[in-house]
Amino acid sequence: MSEATPRVAIVTGAARGIGAATAQRLAADGHAVAVLDLDEANTKETVQAIEAAGGTALGVGADVSDAEQVQAAVDRVAAELGPPVVLINNAGVTRDNMLFKMTEVDWDVVMNVHLRGAFLMARACQKYMVDATFGRIVNLSSVSALGNRGQANYSTAKAGLQGFTKTLAIELGKFGVTANAIAPGFIQTEMTKATAERLGIAFDDFIKGAASQIPVARVGQPEDIAHLVSFFVSEGAGFVSGQVVYAAGGPRA
Ligand SMILES: NC(=O)c1ccc[n+]([C@@H]2O[C@H](COP(=O)([O-])OP(=O)(O)OC[C@H]3O[C@@H](n4cnc5c(N)ncnc54)[C@H](O)[C@@H]3O)[C@@H](O)[C@H]2O)c1
């Protein structure tokens, strides 16, 4: 049986990595997708991939941590694609450092993109979801929420997103809106590549080392996360809300 009603979805940080795979997956599921990233020009590749596969996409440039840019982006999506009732808060950055070397800027940038960004996006989209008595919010957390050396800022933000998710589930549930979080383990993207570079390890070796610690004996791919997003967004997942699913190839990676 085919998936139900096509919706309008916004995926933040969708120029590449997990966001790009998620945007493509939601488009393949039949949704019109706003591919949002810092610079509209960088969304082109994802937009073209979706269109080449027969889907509908709109590239939108916005910094999710900027309230005015978020409002303008959401207004534009509503005007050009329709009411955004699916929101995937995926945009993310790392500014890793041991606590004693971490600057205020390292701290603030990470909080602003992950926490303020998810808050601003959800606040701007919720009225469309409430009006439609349907909504799906998926926030990207991380296994780092459990604590990770060198990531005091990032692990705090990713744990914060879990509390945010649960509160949205409680506040918006009666309007047909679910909110869930995905906490990925090691996913092969530019983000993990940058981590390998910072540690001075070749990316291939970094991947091999990570895979040896993961029960399913491989690292994750962006499509692994997109698959779980697709489930949370589906019509049938309306009774699953406020959950955090660790997608890490095992109980913890
Ligand atoms: N890769 C992993 O192993 C992993 C693991 C756990 C969680 N995550 C989370 O998954 C999400 C995606 O990660 P990824 O590996 O694909 O990262 P990535 O670095 O490949 O992509 C992140 C995207 O977010 C965009 N972005 C950054 N700041 C933004 C802002 N202020 N406004 C709009 N867009 C912005 C970037 O331009 C980029 O396109 C992030 O939230 C990340 O923290 C990743």
Q: What is the pLDDT of residue 6?
A: 94
Q: What is the pLDDT of residue 252?
A: 74
Q: Whose CA is closest to atom 32 on ligand 1?
A: 63
Residue 2 belongs to some domain of the structure: no
Q: How far is CA 82 from each of CA 23, 165, 225, rounded to the nearest angstrom?
A: 16, 24, 25
Residue 139, class by beta-carbon neighbours within 10 Å (0-12 exposed, 13-18 middle, 19+ buried)? buried
Kindly state whether residues 208 and 168 are assigned to the same domain. no
Pocket of ligand 1 (CB under 6 A): 12-13, 15-19, 37-38, 63-65, 90-93, 113, 117, 140, 142, 184, 186-187, 189-192
Q: What is the pLDDT of residue 26?
A: 98
Q: Would you give per-residue pLDDT tens digits along the chain (253 residues)?
A: 355 689 999 999 999 999 999 999 999 999 999 999 999 999 999 999 999 999 999 999 999 999 999 999 999 999 999 999 999 999 999 999 999 999 999 999 999 999 999 999 999 999 999 999 999 999 999 999 999 999 999 999 999 999 999 999 999 999 999 999 999 999 999 999 999 999 999 999 999 999 999 999 999 999 999 999 999 999 999 999 999 999 999 997 6
Residue 134 belongs to some domain of the structure: yes
Q: Whose CA is closest to atom 11 on ligand 1?
A: 90
DSSP string for the chain: -------EEEEETTTSHHHHHHHHHHHHTT-EEEEEESSGGGGHHHHHHHHHTT--EEEEE--TT-HHHHHHHHHHHHHHT--EEEEEE-------B-GGG--HHHHHHHHIIIIIHHHHHHHHHHHHHHHHT-EEEEEE--GGGG--TTBHHHHHHHHHHHHHHHHHHHHHGGGTEEEEEEEE--B-SHHHHHHHHHHT--HHHHHHHHHHTSTTSS-B-HHHHHHHHHHHHSGGGTT--S-EEEESSSS--
Cα angle: 151, vertex 154, 160; to 5 degrees? 135
Kindly state whether residues 168 and 199 are assigned to the same domain. no
- Whether 246 is catalytic is no
Question: What's the CA-to-centroid distance between 114 and ligand 1, angstroms?
Answer: 9
Question: What's the CA-to-centroid distance between 2 and ligand 1, angstroms?
Answer: 30
Task: Please say whether the beta carbons of 248 and 218 come within 8 A.
Answer: no
Rounded Cα–Cα distance for residues 21 and 187 (Å): 12
Question: What's the CA-to-centroid distance between 97 and ligand 1, angstroms?
Answer: 18
Residue 166 belongs to some domain of the structure: yes
Task: List the CATH number of the domain containing 54.
Answer: 3.40.50.720
Question: What's the CA-to-centroid distance between 208 and ligand 1, angstroms?
Answer: 22
pTM score > 0.85 for this model? yes
Q: What is the pLDDT of residue 1?
A: 39
Residue 251 belongs to some domain of the structure: no
Q: What is the pLDDT of residue 235?
A: 97
Kindly state whether residues 39 and 140 are assigned to the same domain. yes
Kindly state whether residues 30 and 138 are assigned to the same domain. yes
Question: Which atom in ligand 1 lies closest to the alpha carbon of residue 20?
Answer: 16
Q: What is the pLDDT of residue 5?
A: 86
Q: What is the pLDDT of residue 4?
A: 65
Rounded Cα–Cα distance for residues 108 and 106 (Å): 6
Kindly state whether residues 103 and 166 are assigned to the same domain. yes
Residue 200 belongs to some domain of the structure: yes
The count of residues in the chain is: 253
Residue 27 belongs to some domain of the structure: yes
Question: Which atom in ligand 1 lies closest to the alpha carbon of residue 15?
Answer: 39
Domain that holds residue 209: 188-219
Instruction: State how many domains the chain has.
Output: 2
Rg (CA), the chain: 17
